[in-house]
Amino acid sequence: MATTALVDPDTGLTQAQLAARHGLRVAGERPSLVEYSRRLWAYRHFIAAYANAKLVASYSNAKLGQLWQVLTPLTNAAVYYLIFGVVLAQNDNIPNFIAYLTTGLFIFNFTQSAILAGTQSISSNLGLIRALHFPRASLPLSTTITQFQQLLASMVVLVGIVLVTGEPLTWKWLMLLPALLLQAVFNAGVVLFVARLGAKASDLKQVMPFIMRTWMYGSGVLYSVSLFDRLPGWATTLVQYNPLLVYIELARYALLEEAPLLNESLTQLWLVGAGWALVAGIGGFIYFWRGEQEYGRG
């Protein structure tokens, strides 16, 4: 049975036409992609302030406070060096294994921490989402910024380790900054993607640590990437396009003189790294935007 639209007797317009004439819109309606981007830019100061607040709050209950930004990566590096450098003797095969290992760990941890936090960035802020109207992408993006701030503290530690272990300061170190910026864009896109998935499936946060652990072992973080040469040709090619392996190798190329690399072509590394940043950044943003009206409901 067809429904008949109600018509205002004074104007002869339907309710929809009357609402459009006076600029009224459906509550929670998703704006256009361009308009959404404009609104998100208008909230850039909120995103930065929220990221800073989360960073400070994460260490507020610890006696050493934000010093843990430095102690945590150092402790992780020490544990992995004990296992892979001393017990498994990987340091016999890699020049300056300490710097090689810590570079891989710090770069990988940037993405891992961002994704794990981003998975819950919507589901853990439902009160804020339901109380206030703002672009929901602000939350996962602030998570990425928080992790980037922690990365900067880790980079201070990493630079100290690299210098102390005998690596010279060269012009190649300048390549580290654009590599980290490409990784940050990649992280933002992936975080937006998993934030929408996590908003729908709350169990994703339980699965994600296992996914990231598997990704770590496939990214040459803890051992020489030369081991991947033993794989079949197609598998080696697939590993070469692993985005985290690419960003790790860019960082190792910048900081270390004799680090073994799976991708010998520097041009290929930059092109793949930029490609992943572009695809993940744009794709993740569009995917998250398409679910804007869903967040906080149900």
> Which of 193, 185, 197 lies closest to 286, judged by CA?
193
Does residue 28 belong to any structural domain of this protein?
no
- As given in the structure block, the two tokens for residue 107 are 């770069």
Amino acid at 4: T
DSSP E strand boundaries for the chain:
none
Q: Can you give the pLDDT at residue 2?
A: 46
The proportion of the chain whose per-residue pLDDT surpasses 90, expressed as a percent, equals 40
Considering the chain, what is the average pLDDT of its residues? 83
Higher per-residue pLDDT: 71 or 50: 50
Does residue 22 belong to any structural domain of this protein?
no
Helices and strands counted in the chain (H then E) = 12, 0
Does residue 25 belong to any structural domain of this protein?
no
Q: How confident is the model at residue 20 (pLDDT cuts 50, 70, 90)?
A: low
Angle (nearest 5°) at CA 235 between 218 and 241? 65
**Structural domain of residue 203, as residue ranges?**
49-291
Residues 185-205, mean pLDDT to the nearest whole number: 91
The proportion of the chain whose per-residue pLDDT surpasses 70, expressed as a percent, equals 81
The answer to whether 136 touches 295, Cβ cutoff 8 Å, is yes
- pLDDT at 264 > cutoff 90: no
Dihedral sign for Cα atoms in the order 40, 46, 52, 55: negative
Q: Which of 83-97, 162-176, 187-201, 233-247 has the lowest mean pLDDT?
A: 83-97
Does residue 11 belong to any structural domain of this protein?
no
The answer to whether 50 touches 117, Cβ cutoff 8 Å, is no
User: How far apart, in Å, do the first and last CA atoms of the chain sit?
Assistant: 29
Quick check: helix, strand or coil at residue 78?
Answer: helix
Does residue 10 belong to any structural domain of this protein?
no
Q: Can you give the pLDDT at residue 12?
A: 60
Does residue 262 belong to any structural domain of this protein?
yes
The answer to whether 105 touches 221, Cβ cutoff 8 Å, is yes
Q: Can you give the pLDDT at residue 207?
A: 92
pTM for this structure?
0.84
Q: Which of 92-106, 180-194, 275-289 has the lowest mean pLDDT?
A: 92-106
How many domains does the chain divide into? 1
The answer to whether 129 touches 296, Cβ cutoff 8 Å, is yes
Neighbour count for residue 252 (Cβ, 10 Å):
22
